[in-house]
Amino acid sequence: MFFKLKKPLTKKIDLKSDLNEMMDVLRKDDFNKEPLNFDEKSSNPEYLYWDKFQYKELIPKNIKKEKLWVMVKILRDIRSKKTPILDDKNNIFRWIKLSKFEEFFHNIDMNTGGKLFSSKKDIDKNNKQKLISNGIMEEAIASSQLEGAATTRKVAKKFLRENRKPKNESEQMILNNYLTMQSIENEYKNRSMNMDLLLELHKMITKDTLTDEGKIPCLRAGGISVIDPINGKIYHEAPNISFVKKELKRLVLFANDELESDNFIHPVVKAIMLHFWIGYLHPFTDGNGRLARLFFYWYLLKNNYWAFAYLPISKIIKKSPKQYTMSYVYSEQDDNDLTYFIDYNIRKIRLAVKEFEEYLEKEQKSNLQMNKKARLKYNFNERQIQLLQYLYRAPEERTSLRMHMNIYQVSAKSAIKDLKGLEKQKFLISKKQGRNIYYYPDDKINKLFL
Contacts 24+ apart (CB under 8 A), 22-26: 22/63, 22/67, 22/68, 22/70, 22/71, 25/60, 25/62, 25/63, 26/60
**Residue 340: burial class (beta carbons within 10 Å; 0-12, 13-18, 19+):** buried
Confidence of residue 31 (pLDDT cuts 50, 70, 90): very low
pLDDT in tens, 321-351: 989 988 998 999 899 999 999 999 999 999 9
Give the whole-angstrom CA distance, residue 362 versus residue 196. Answer: 43
> What are the counts of helices (DSSP H) followed by strands (DSSP E) for the chain?
19, 7
On the question of pLDDT at 6 being above 80, the answer is no
On the question of pLDDT at 276 being above 50, the answer is yes
Ordered alpha helix ranges (H), 259-302? 267-281, 288-302
Say how many CA atoms lie within 13 Å of 144 toward its Cβ.
Answer: 29
What pLDDT score does 17 carry? Answer: 57
Give the whole-angstrom CA distance, residue 168 versus residue 208. Answer: 10
Give the whole-angstrom CA distance, residue 291 versus residue 279. Answer: 8
Ordered alpha helix ranges (H), 46-100? 50-53, 65-79
Give the whole-angstrom CA distance, residue 288 versus residue 294. Answer: 10
On the question of pLDDT at 261 being above 80, the answer is no
What pLDDT score does 174 carry? Answer: 96
**DSSP code at position 43:** T
Task: Output phi, psi for 85, to 5 deg.
Answer: -85, 130
DSSP symbols for 101-127: HHHHHHHHHHHTTTBSTT-SSBPPHHH
pTM of the complete model beyond 0.85: no
pLDDT in tens, 79-113: 999 999 999 999 999 999 999 999 999 888 876 54
**Residue 395: burial class (beta carbons within 10 Å; 0-12, 13-18, 19+):** middle
pLDDT in tens, 205-224: 999 999 988 999 999 998 87
Question: Which of these, 105, 79, 83, 81, lies nearest to 259 by C-alpha position?
Answer: 83
pLDDT in tens, 147-171: 989 999 989 998 998 888 999 999 9
Q: Do the Cβ atoms of 1 and 323 come closer than 8 Å?
A: no
* Cα→Cα distances 33→26, 57, 59, 356, Å: 11, 17, 11, 44
Three-state DSSP at 231 gives coil
Q: Hey, what domains does the chain have and what are their CATH numbers?
A: 15-79 (no CATH), 124-341 (1.10.3290.10), 380-448 (1.10.10.10)
